Structure 1
Amino acid sequence: MSRNPGNREQFRPEGHPTDHFLLTTVVGSYPKPKWLNRATDLAEDGDAKFDGGDLAEAHDDACRVITHEHERAGLDTVVDGEMRREEMVEFFAERIDGYEFNGPVKVWGHNYFDKPSVVDEVAYADPWLVDEFEFTDAVASRPVKVPITGPYTLANWSFNEAYDDSEVLAYDLADLVNEEVEKLVEAGARYVQIDEPALATIPDDHAIVGECLDRIVAGVPEDVRVGLHVCYGDYSRVYPEINDYPIDEFDVELCNGDYEQIDTFADGEFAPDLALGVVDAHVAEVEPVAEIKENVRQGLKVVPPEKLTVSPDCGLKLLPREVAYGKMENLVQAARELEAELDAGEVEVPVAGTAPTADD
């Protein structure tokens, strides 16, 4: 039940040189400048002459730098690299009434996560991202996408000490996300991405995620593009159910798995637009343009070019910054070259639902 996939055309750059248009974007996070990490340390040092105001200025500067870096790479839609965020759950939990933090927990190896607890009924107080969006939108010359951690992940990656049922918690959180999206739309946002990595870890709950999405998009105009990003996992356990989700775009991480699961979606029935990861967020090497073009072609097994978005597999924050930039630059070049080849009739677009050949 796609909302209005045709709303992608609003992101075509003015004067785009080709008839075909492959929307290029990023999932969200991006490597922070080293000086921003240093500024954060200074702000936490009681002996340093560096306070919260100084850190806010550093965040503003970093957001300007990364937004312009995305534009310099040629991306059609940009984000600020989530320069003001540390972790995808903690950032929102700190802004939602009903959450509290009781210290980090060990999740794997020597890695710790400051897992929050829901200790009371969750409630919406102040906007979470509106100021962030308005700042980035003011410094950007291209449309800005807003990534938001989804309610199902916010519920499942927290300790639940207040609700009898985590499903009800997810629905309450979805209502709060809806409030936030409405405020973002009022501020001018036209591209919102809901991040639900937990869906891939507990895929049998796809109906809960569907209900959450119904709540999130309630009242949101159809010209606002809503994407769902899911990484990792066995996608066959959530497809074709995602066809019933009220989204414009489904964003998947398949490059890291050499596209072994692409045929899951190539049945001719895939309903939303496909946002396909075509560079690997886990490999600190810049893929050549020719390789990325072949990766983009994988998406054409599922959807025609006018329904294909091109992005990294996932957030890039763990990569060296020069590698992240190189991936973006080559991703854009690959998309632009393929657009020209599509215009020239040099690219054969497979018919979705047909069996792939050995050459595929």
Structure 2
Amino acid sequence: MIKTVVGSYPVVKGKPDSIPDKIKKFFGKYDKYEYSIKKALDDQLNVGIDILSDGQVRGDMVEIFVSNMYGFEGRRVVNRVEFVKPITLNDIKYSLKYISKKDPEKGVKGIITGACTLASSIRVENYYSDNKDENLIYDLARALNKEALSIQNHVKMIQFDEPILSTGLYDLEVAKKAMDIITSGINVPVAMHVCGDVSKIFYKLNEFNVDILDHEFASCRKNLEILNEITKKVGFGCINTKLKSVDSVDEVKALISEGIEILKNNSKFEGSINDSVIIDPDCGMRLLPVDVAYSKLNNMVTAANEIEKDLI
């Protein structure tokens, strides 16, 4: 079973302590986020994560994208939304270069906030009618597709985050069309992360043009019922990222085992559970203390490895 993360990691700030970094700071070229990226990567490497994230340290899941697209002033839409240049590519390349020196077999994932979630988090002041305007959503999707195309040759997979879909605020047919636009031309595995209770909308999510559906199961055990009918690979969120208490290895093992037992009765997964389940946290970990985030990931990987031995 592949072990990964949903995306964000606590931002740990550092100061330039090496001579090259001090020189960069003197000339105004020091990147204060590089330390945070290295910390996120080191922690993931140390616990045994297979597909790593750069930690999404430069801002929240909305800010990272809208601050780098044409048509925005802050989170206000003032013109037609368009792609300008790759947003996450530099951090992905930096991450690959960094981890290649430590474990060249590891890879990184692309993480892109979906069109509906972005639309729900901004203020429309011009060009579009409101946050649910289909033209806004599809323009965002076209911009995000260009972002995905710019990174796909550097990542093991691309994950699109659409947490807003579990709220029922957005039309799922529109969201599905947007995902078709976003994933056009993508030749690496595509995941869609939707946290929250998805049990009532899962019938529709199962139709989306993605390879992996990633959901939370630790903080929403009701989602376990979707495993009876899922036809995609499963991103199995198994540690509760809402709590600052650390999930024990036994707790995580019990949850993963429960999920696997359900999947064994799903004909889609006959004989392929080990290759079809991706273990990760319920959601991003940005708001957790870094020691808690590390311990949660460590216990998650330990639990997954022990379960995997039983499946072989």
2:83 aligned to 124, 128, 134, which one? 124
Matched, 1:207 2:173: yes
Report deviation, 1:52: 5.3
Partners in 2 of 1:340 and 1:168 — Cα distance? 49
Q: Does 1:216 align with 2:182?
A: yes
**Counterpart for residue 21 of structure 2:** none
Tell me, in whole angstroms, the C-alpha distance in 2 between the residues paired with 1:100 and 1:317. 25
Instruction: Name the CA shift for 1:205/1:326 in 2 (closer, same or farther; >3 Å).
Output: same
State whether structure 2 residue 226 is matched by structure 1 residue 247.
no
Please tell me the residue identity of whatever aligns with 1:61: Y
- Which letter maps to 2:209? P
Structure 1 residue 100, shift from structure 2 partner: 0.9
Deviation at 1:87, TM superposition (A): 1.4
Contact 1:97–1:123 at 8 Å: present in 2 too? yes
Q: 1:173 maps to what in 2?
A: 140
1: distance between equivalents of 2:227 and 2:112?
28
CA RMSD of aligned residues (A): 2.0
Is the CA contact 1:196–1:230 (under 8 Å) kept in the aligned structure 2?
Answer: yes
Tell me the residue number matched to 2:116: 152
Percent of pairs with identical residues: 31
From 219, 224, 229, the equivalent of 1:262 is 224
* Partner residue in 2 for 1:299: 259
Query: Is the 1:274–1:299 Cα contact (8 Å) retained in structure 2?
Result: no
* Distance in structure 2 (CA, Å) of the matches to 1:151 and 1:52: 34
DSSP 3-state at the match of 2:44: helix
Question: Using a 3 Å threshold, how does the CA distance of structure 1 residues 323 and 297 change in structure 2: closer, same or farther?
Answer: same
SS of equivalent residue, structure 2 residue 222:
coil
Shift of 1:337: 0.7
After TM superposition, give the deviation of residue 272 of structure 1 in Å. Answer: 0.9
Question: Once the 2 structures are TM-superposed, how far is the Cα of residue 321 of structure 1 from its aligned partner?
Answer: 0.8
* 1-structure distance, mates of 2:7, 2:67: 19
* Change in 2 beyond 3 A, CA 1:168/1:52: farther
- Provide the TM-score with structure 1 as the length reference: 0.76
Q: 1: CA distance between counterparts of 2:206 and 2:214? A: 13
Deviation at 1:183, TM superposition (A): 0.9
Aligned partner (choices 279, 282, 298) of residue 310 of structure 1? 279
Q: Which has the higher contact order (CA 8 A, sep 6+)?
A: 1
State the 1:305 CA deviation: 3.2
Deviations 1:105-126, CA, capped at 9 Å, x for gaps: xxxxxxxxxxx11110011112
Paired with 1:50 and 1:281, the residues of 2 have a C-alpha distance of 39
Displacement after TM superposition at 1:190 (Å):
2.6
CA distances 1:144-200 after superposition (whole Å, capped 9, x unpaired)? 0121111111112111222136211111111111111111024x2231110111111
Q: Distance in 2 between matches of 1:156 and 1:283?
A: 25
- Aligned equivalents of 1:204 and 1:216: distance in 2? 17
Which of 186, 194, 199 is matched with 1:236 structurally?
199
Tell me, yes or no, if the aligned pair for 2:253 and 2:307 is still in contact at 8 Å.
yes
Which one-letter code corresponds to 1:89 in the other structure?
Answer: V
Match of 2:8 among 5, 29, 32: 29
**Kept after mapping to 2: 8 A contact 1:255/1:313:** yes
User: Would the aligned equivalents of 2:13 and 2:36 in 1 still touch at CA under 8 Å?
Assistant: no
Match of 1:53 in 2: 29
**Counterpart secondary structure, 2:61:** coil
Distance 1:125 1:73 in 2: 36
Residues 37-64 of structure 1: per-residue CA shift (max 9 Å, x gap): x9xxxxxxxxxx988533x1x3112212
Q: Which runs of 5+ in 2 are unaligned?
A: 17-24, 264-268
Distance verdict in 2 for CA 1:86–1:245, change over 3 Å: same
Distance 1:335-1:138 versus aligned 2 partners, 3 A rule: same
Q: Secondary structure at the match of 1:33?
A: coil
Give the whole-Å Cα distance in 2 for the aligned partners of 1:287 and 1:138: 32
The match for 2:59 among 86, 89, 103 is: 86
Look up the match of 1:163: 128
